[in-house]
Structure 1
């Protein structure tokens, strides 16, 4: 014991002296750097220590970020988010900036970059559309403006080309409006590869025609105006074929199912399966989100609190060591067999108790839900019966005494409000429905003469996310996480994650197998048989 204490004291003193020497060298470097250049800055980050034995002490005072000897233990005095509350001690400098300013500057740059990425494709598309529609018209106007006296007269065939060019430009304008001038469904992190390819192809086509036009028509001042009109018509035909290619790549290519994707919500394990075509990862993520808002029930964090409470109430069981096994000297101190058996029995008892409590909790919860549901159904049926009775009385009343449907909804709502509120609290869905939304739904059901069951269906079972208010959609808060590039196509075995504030959507991709169907001929005569009857009566 004396040897060990002497060795530990020597090691602590040596370690303390080494750290003092390192800090002295660092201070010497900092002082030398301040002499050479006043613009440099020294930053020392002191994270909270896990033990007070190895912490160096200067003049009997702890360093910033360390616990004092009389303070609480680190687990109680400091929170779990120690990385966010770490103190940064900066040296003397002429230029200093706070962490909040750095974060604000980075956020501003990120917002500007996001806006630039959002509006750049729109600007490029508008410029491309103006170039596509204006180029043929410019081809026709330049000869008339520059050398009109040398042009040959345009005959009937040339005038027919004018008519064809006008209708083709009108169809091209309508097609561009239908395909490209639609409101954007979402903002993707990267530019669509097919759209970039089509924009580049359109630009190359326009540049090629302009180059040919400048060399063969402008420089030579061609007098054949009929040929100029045919040249403009050929450009419009090429643009129509490019638009047909855009329809194939952007609208028709992904219609044939090629992959089956599995979408799992991380919190409650809600799972859905969908078939998609040949898409990029970011477009597949957009498709998954569209399906999610339509098919997945609304995410309710209140339903997960019961399992967390039960897990906190019943922590993990005891850790049992086999003291008779070889190499158990590194474990806890030896215990006799009776203590080990007692620990095993206690752990098994706790496990059985947790199972029984879970069983009775679920049974009691189902009983309370059925009770609240029965009271709610009775209250709603009575309210709707009262409304029908009042409606019959209003038919015989004067026009001035007739009550509006919304007024009737406000009048009968208090009779069912308490039962509905208790049911929503029991099922932990009270935050999904506000009083205003319930009154609007009640008025809608009364206007369309719906039954009480139709009114209750909205509250008895959770609906998809789109059936609730926009504040429940978590819009513009999704983050796509993928190891592969998001512009690359989905492949068999690929996976990516969509993250939002409260949960994640894990997506795995499987290829749909090639299906081979063969034919087997069945002879119609093989279905014929002979039935022989034996008479039991003698004739």
Structure 2
């Protein structure tokens, strides 16, 4: 403990003395950058999809594949240990009063979860209160005169009973319509309030308050005795509420159905691109629709492939050596005989740079060869395992029911025969972090229960699937940041560009308008297709 404290204190004072000279320059640069960040922060807003786990690291939960390397490791380096297992990292501290980084992150995440829960359920609570006000107001209009001055009311007989029946069914229809449109669980937490929802809520409140004002002045204060007129007044309120709900259906559901714009979505890391057609939406609603398309259509983001390309580029750059021959303190300046040697080394490095494309070509060819070889081994191993299961199934049909093996036990029994081939293939294709041992065994049991072929089992591993095919820990849907020059509540238009950023990458979105299509008709005379075939009577016989 004392030794650790001494070393830490020494490193602190030494680093402090090294940073003291640069403190003034950094403070001025930080002051200049703060003004730019304040302007840029006004353009960045956050989209938080609900019920999605946060992703703190690109590793999977559960048991990893055997011999699983780091995402940036070379797939050609096979590990020595092929056993299934886990690695654990322990972090120790030197003070009982100190707060670890994990506790600080957990505290921040807890506060963020509370804020997200409040923002998620606040619109639902407001919609529920407005819905109760809308449904209770007509009933209160009918009951108040009966309670306050029942002896002075004029009986309306059958006419009022028919209006009561009409109000009952209209309120029932309005209740179901409000539940279907407004009381649905939210799909995401948008950074700004939806303009159309706020407009409809305000319109509903204004309509209800106007009826209450007229009811208080003309009916309650005057103690109107015409109960038939009061009932018709309540019926008119219910009719107005139904028309407002129809307007909500048009603005919130039907307006964006007709495609008006073509959206180009490009992932920043690997350049994966998709194109979609959307209708009249605001920027934040368009971002939400694009994220839904992304999880459905885009293949899962694999940082291991990017780290491999960076490793290859760093290896090529490491071979380049450049010397400043004309420098006064250089070796070439001190020894005249070394000048030609330095120039020769620069020339050799340039030739090596020119030959980099050949090295890349042979590396990719070798990679494709290893992938095909390990894929063939995997296919053969899986086919043999499924053949063994079919043979065991035929043998079980001739045995007693007590000796029949369960599907889970059968999957555990045949899994070791294909585990090594599957492990090497996933490690070669750098997708070992996407599949845990538990998920593979569960998928194998599912294929055995439904009597699927080996090809159906391998389809999930031979090619990368969409993001939703994998577990929620791989979605990276905890937080998206929307960066836009224009206001996120404004509608999209031709040339609109914005950015969706997450932890490891970003999506660049470009909006193009679908052109106006004009189709003309051209009439073709049917007689123009007729022709006459003349045959000669003379033959060559």
* TM-score of the pair, normalised by structure 2: 0.76
Match of 1:192 in 2: 194
1:157 to 2:159 alignment: yes
Q: Which moved more, 1:523-532 or 1:280-289?
A: 523-532
**Alpha carbons 2:263, 2:278 under 8 Å: kept:** yes
Distance, in Å, in 2 between the alignment partners of 1:415 and 1:107 is 42
Question: In the alignment, which residue of structure 2 is the partner of 1:122?
Answer: 124
**Superposition deviation, residue 119 in structure 1:** 3.6
Please report how far the alpha carbon of residue 536 of structure 1 lies from its aligned counterpart in structure 2 after TM superposition. Answer: 4.9
CA distance 1:504–1:150, change in 2 (3 Å)? same
Structure 1 partner of 2:135: 133
Listed as ranges, the matches of 1:1-400 within 5 Å are 64=16, 66=18, 116-315=118-317, 345-346=347-348, 348-400=350-402
Q: CA separation in 2, counterparts of 1:359 and 1:531?
A: 62
Q: CA deviation at 1:125?
A: 1.1
Aligned to 1:469: 471
Higher mean alpha-carbon deviation, 452-461 vs 470-479, is at: 470-479
| Residue pair 2:383, 2:454 contacting (<8 A) in 1 also | yes
Determine the structure 1 residue equivalent to 2:513.
511
- 1:432 maps onto 2:384 in alignment: no
SS at match of 1:315: helix
Q: Deviations over 1:175-215 (max 9, x none)?
A: 11111111111111111111000000000100110111111
CA deviation vs aligned residue, 1:440-462 (integer Å, no higher than 9, x gap): 00010011110000000000001
1:409 to 405, 408, 411: 411
Deviations 1:22-53 (A, max 9, x none): xxxxxxxxxxxxxxxxxxxxxxxxxxxxxxxx
Cα offset, 1:153, TM superposition: 1.2
* 3-state SS in 1 of match to 2:317: coil
Give the superposition deviation at 1:345. 4.5
CA contact (8 A) 2:119 2:189 kept: no
Structure 1 SS opposite 2:516: coil
Q: 1:393 to 1:111 in 2, by over 3 A?
A: closer
Larger RCO (CA within 8 A; separation ≥ 6)? 2
Contact 2:263–2:510, Cα closer than 8 Å, also in 1: yes
Contiguous gaps of at least 5 residues in structure 2: 1-12, 23-28, 31-98, 327-331
CA distance 1:438–1:484, change in 2 (3 Å):
same
Say which of 524, 528, 531 aligns to 1:529.
Answer: 531
Alpha-carbon distance between aligned partners in 1 of 2:496 and 2:390, rounded to the nearest angstrom: 57
Does the 8 A contact of 1:62 with 1:68 survive in 2?
Answer: no
More divergent stretch after superposition (312-321 vs 103-112) = 103-112
RMSD: 3.2
In 2 relative to 1, CA 372–162 (structure 1 residues): closer, same or farther, beyond 3 Å?
same
Q: What is the DSSP-based 3-state SS (H/G/I as helix, E as strand, rest coil) of the residue aligned with 1:314?
A: helix
CA gap of 1:68–1:523, structure 2 versus 1, over 3 A, is closer
| 1:353 to partner: Cα distance | 2.4
**Counterpart contact for 2:263–2:511, Cα < 8 Å:** yes
Cα distance, 1:534 vs. partner? 3.5
Higher Rg: 1
Call closer, same or farther: CA 1:170–1:422 in 2, change over 3 Å: same
Give distance in 2, aligned partners of 1:181 and 1:295: 29
Q: CA deviation at 1:531?
A: 2.4
Q: 2-side partners of 1:174 and 1:424: how far apart?
A: 50
Distance 1:462 1:102 in 2: 36
**Aligned position for 2:448:** 446
Alpha-carbon spacing, 1:371–1:188, altered in 2? closer, same or farther (3 Å):
same
TM superposition shift of 1:402: 1.0
CA contact (8 A) 1:153 1:225 kept: yes
